[in-house]
Structure 1
Amino acid sequence: MIEWMQKHRKYLVITIWISSIAFIVAGGIGWGQFNLSTSLFGDTVIKVGNIKISSQEFEQAYNNTYQTYAQALGGNIDPDEAKKMGLDKMAKQLATQILINQALVRNFALDLGLRVEDSEVIDEITKTDAFQNNGHFDEAIYKATLKENNYRPVDFEKNIREMLLLQKMTNLFPDTITPLELDAVSSAFKLQDKIELSILDADTLQPKITDSELKAYWEKNKDKYKTPSQYEVQYRFVDASTQNVSPKEAQSYYNENKSLYINDKGELESFEKIKTKVQKDIQLHKALSVATKEYLDLKKSNATEISKTITEGSNQYPPEIMQELQKSKTGQTLKPLEYKNGYIILKLISKKEPEIKTFEQAKIQAILDFTQTKKMELLKLEAQNKLSSFKGKDIGFVNVNFKGKIQGLDEKEVSTLIKEIFINQKKSNFVIINNKAILYRIKEQNFNNPIKDNSTMVAMTTNLKTQYLQKVLIDYLRQKYTIQRYQD
């Protein structure tokens, strides 16, 4: 995913012109993740033409960009892991480029005489769904939403004005395409190749491995062969099923937490239907309360407790608990962690770090790994030798959106093969996919693949044209306006 984001950074910079209100109304600002000290030039961190970008504007753009990247990686990213991945640097670079691009376009828009009236700003805000109450704009909701996100109305309205100015500039781009432009984009999807292919399987190969080769392989890769970490811990477990819950308690809990029992259709489940779930929820809640007391007691206790050794990779505990142990220091007591039907409290007594295995200890796994490496080397060599003269199976015509089956390949392997065929310019080639080498030859090529949905082609062509025009404009404006950065 990181590679994808890096590869598509230019695309993002070109297309992300307009700051979305969604970040604000969804509570997505995330203030405080990045801070810029005031520069020698006051609060201005970047100046583009006549437009100054403040540290507050930069922080907002940075945090929005950071969150966008984090969401692309699945959401809750550990700060230390994010730093190792360089997520903060990537977000800073992209946020800077986005702000500069926006400022370039705003300079040009103002030079062209484009302006945004107060009435347009008011109209944009009052029609935003997040600020509505029974179909009407509610000023109290508006102010409360901004306050929750540490946003002053004057700053928000300034952003809306700038967004509308960028929209006006975007609207100047032509929204029509020529038949030639449509045909040029469609041709890539009309193209189809008649293919013959042959599949070689690495599992049929039996490489010979000498002891000296194996030892040399282990020497080169011995960091891969380590003993697992071991953790000596004291522990206590609180079983939720032992917690008593009275019928009255369950009914009261249900009445006070009805929002927790709404089904996928948005309907409230009746108490009778889900009282077992309500009881389990209360038991877990009580178990956590008990576990918290046990945590405080274990944390300060020097008494001999029940202890055990946990080995990394043994599946004794789920990954979430193992991750917490990895981050812990000797003597540290972990706060209650949900485990099975209850909570567990762990106190780390000692930790044995991984050690490189001896050759004899690593030999069995090293044989398996080295054999696989040798197989892939032999597979590639065999594919190269057979490429010019192989006799393959004719699978007929394929196109870039081919969804058919190919004997000997699963769905993902077919998708990868088709992608390689249409990216590569060679008439014949081979592709290594998993343990297979797939040799293919293009026997015939034409542009007769029918386009089923022409509206999609029109939308794609329009989008590509807009992206191209945006890039050309940005390149021109970078020459027209001076860009000064007061912060690295």
Structure 2
Amino acid sequence: MHFSKSYKNYCISQSTITIITTYINRKWRAFTMLELMRKHARNWLMKVILGIIIIVFIFYFGTMGGRQKAETIATIDGKTIAIVDFQREYENLIDFYRRRYGEMLTDDLLKKLNLKQQAFDNLIHQAIILHQANKLKLEVTTSEVTASILSLPAFQRNGVFDDRIYRQMLRSNKMTPEEFEERQKKLLTIAKVENLIFDAVQISDQEVYDLYRFQNEKININFLQFPPKDFKGKVMPSRKDLEAYLKVHGNDFRKPEEVQIKYISFSSEEEAKMAHDTIYQEENFDAYANQKKLKINTTGFFSLHNPPPEFSRLSDFVSVAFGLQRDEISKVLSDEKGYYILKLMTRKPPYIPTLSEIEREVERRYIEEESRRLCKQEAEIVLNRLKKGEDVKSISRQKGLKVTETGFFLPGSEIPELGSSQELSKALFLISEKKPYPDNVLNVNGNFVIIQFKEKGKLDNDDFEVKKEHLKNILLETKKNEYLQSWLESSKVSMLKEGKLKLARDIKEL
């Protein structure tokens, strides 16, 4: 299908803005391993891996048994989801990701995956889908379960189902055939409900063309840049201004709790333990050091996040030091250099310094914030004038601004002399010949920016026809997921309102 000139130059339809925005947001996030796998799903090796993962999901997921337990997180139609189900689901998720990704799964990535929320949602969503399947009287027959198991590659040898492999895998996962088949039946039931939802998803040619445009259409713009540093000379705060600023932003300058300790060093563990017992019994830290001719070292005041450098290798130093009461001594601590006994001298509670103590820092922040405010205000005034039809070159001459033309580039890529940002990427996709300016001033790399549409490059319709089906599949999968999540959420709200779903625990309590 070829598109007329008028069709190609329309503004983006509202129905696809959400999808495009989602696409942009994904570009600005680190790719997860699942995204990488989906991207390369046509590769034969990746298909084998995905086949194995399907088996892992069957073994490890779908663990809601509806058993009556004292501690529950939710109840659906009188069937409980126990806290042990949640714990198992959570542990299985961790185990699943670790098995799949090995060393690539860092603690930081685990935290970002928010596995507790995933485990909680998995169980609730499973229960909702199975409830709705029962309501719709959707059934999975024994023959359907059998056919699905026979087709799983993990149970096949040379493309044919092997009963010995099947039973061996079940034994290694401590599962009977009946238990596995019941889980498979649940998965097939869930799939039937999902397919009913997915069948309602439609993708128009216009939506597909929108995505193609987003990926391939280059744009040429003019831009005006407003650096906040140019406004710093206009900001001259009085002491009264600084006092008012500190009053409002006092917590930004709050000094944390600090402690000061003194300590004695020892070369051997035995000597340190003997000294500790004597000092503890006789309460004579200083006298003991003088008697044994040991040097008493004193630290300066330090906070929880800024310990003395000499104790940087002591992992429990901070917790021990801040746990001491006044004149209390610590247990014996050690690192590769020796052994230590600490004694708390003084503790400073957290406080907000007076202006006299931090005037320079308060002034610096005040000037920085005020210059940004004035800069943004000036940029907004200029943008409003441009929207009313004033000429960009005329205004730039009045204001001493430089109008820069970028030349053709693909939105989302780095723009020479300007940079890139998520905010800018979204704005570039929404401006056009009919709407040459964005709704708001943009923040790009710390500067305020006004962009002006100039022209768009031509698209290759033959190339679009080649890629059309692939792009349609991308949009279809995105919409399917959005529909499913929306349906699950609305079903959850409805069931909560009707009392069919009762949540006994909050995710924060788990």
The interval holding the TM-score normalised by the smaller chain is 0.5 to 0.7
Amino acid at match of 2:125: I
Change (3 A) 1:445 1:25: same
The structure 1 residue matched to 2:237, chosen from 195, 198, 209, is 209
The structure 1 residue matched to 2:361, chosen from 358, 365, 376, is 365
Amino acid at match of 1:362: I
Change (3 A) 1:478 1:323: same
- The question of 1:440 aligning with 2:459 is answered no
Is the partner of 1:74 in helix, strand or coil? Answer: helix
- The question of 1:74 aligning with 2:108 is answered yes
The structure 1 residue matched to 2:257, chosen from 220, 229, 241, is 229
Q: Distance in 2 between matches of 1:225 and 1:476?
A: 45
Q: Which runs of 5+ in 1 are unaligned?
A: 9-18, 30-35, 129-135, 240-289
Q: What is residue 107 of structure 1 aligned with on the other side?
A: 134
Q: What is residue 159 of structure 2 aligned with on the other side?
A: none
Q: Distance in 1 between matches of 2:73 and 2:255?
A: 53
> Deviation digits for residues 400-450 of structure 1, max 9, x if unmatched?
34x24321x34xx35652234336796314212343111111123466278
Amino acid at match of 2:183: N
Q: What is residue 162 of structure 1 aligned with on the other side?
A: 186
Cα deviation, residue 225, structure 1: 1.8
- The question of 1:186 aligning with 2:212 is answered yes
Q: Distance in 2 between matches of 1:165 and 1:92?
A: 20
Is the partner of 2:407 in helix, strand or coil? Answer: strand
CA contact (8 A) 1:231 1:348 kept: no
Cα deviation, residue 198, structure 1: 1.3
> Deviation digits for residues 317-362 of structure 1, max 9, x if unmatched?
459958953995225858968x7x6788675636433221111002
Q: Distance in 1 between matches of 2:490 and 2:244?
A: 57
Change (3 A) 1:46 1:202: same
CA contact (8 A) 2:424 2:442 kept: yes
Amino acid at match of 2:475: T
Q: What is residue 418 of structure 1 aligned with on the other side?
A: 425
- The question of 1:397 aligning with 2:374 is answered no
> Deviation digits for residues 266-291 of structure 1, max 9, x if unmatched?
xxxxxxxxxxxxxxxxxxxxxxxx98
- The question of 1:470 aligning with 2:494 is answered no
Is the partner of 1:182 in helix, strand or coil? Answer: helix
The structure 1 residue matched to 2:76, chosen from 22, 42, 47, is 47
CA contact (8 A) 2:125 2:488 kept: no
Amino acid at match of 1:316: P
The answer to which of 445-454 and 304-313 deviates more is: 445-454
Q: What is residue 379 of structure 1 aligned with on the other side?
A: 375
CA contact (8 A) 1:192 1:449 kept: no
Q: What is residue 131 of structure 1 aligned with on the other side?
A: none
Amino acid at match of 1:162: K
Change (3 A) 1:211 1:465: closer
Cα deviation, residue 213, structure 1: 0.8
Amino acid at match of 1:464: T
The structure 2 residue matched to 1:349, chosen from 344, 347, 354, is 344
Change (3 A) 1:125 1:109: farther
Q: Distance in 2 between matches of 1:423 and 1:322?
A: 54
Cα deviation, residue 76, structure 1: 7.0
CA contact (8 A) 2:145 2:188 kept: no
CA contact (8 A) 2:320 2:330 kept: no
Amino acid at match of 1:393: T
TM normalised by structure 2 equals 0.57
Q: Distance in 1 between matches of 2:272 and 2:176?
A: 42
Is the partner of 1:438 in helix, strand or coil? Answer: strand
TM normalised by structure 1 equals 0.59
Please identify the structure whose Cα radius of gyration is greater.
2
CA contact (8 A) 2:250 2:352 kept: yes
Amino acid at match of 1:427: P
Q: Distance in 1 between matches of 2:374 and 2:147?
A: 72
Q: Distance in 2 between matches of 1:235 and 1:156?
A: 62
Change (3 A) 1:38 1:373: same
Q: Which runs of 5+ in 2 are unaligned?
A: 1-21, 27-52, 63-67, 98-104, 157-163, 290-295, 394-402, 505-510
Report the count of equivalent residues.
390
Q: Distance in 1 between matches of 2:437 and 2:476?
A: 34
Is the partner of 1:437 in helix, strand or coil? Answer: strand
Change (3 A) 1:418 1:143: same
The structure 1 residue matched to 2:70, chosen from 22, 35, 38, is 38
Q: Distance in 2 between matches of 1:237 and 1:108?
A: 73
Q: What is residue 226 of structure 2 aligned with on the other side?
A: 200
Amino acid at match of 2:425: I
CA contact (8 A) 2:321 2:342 kept: no
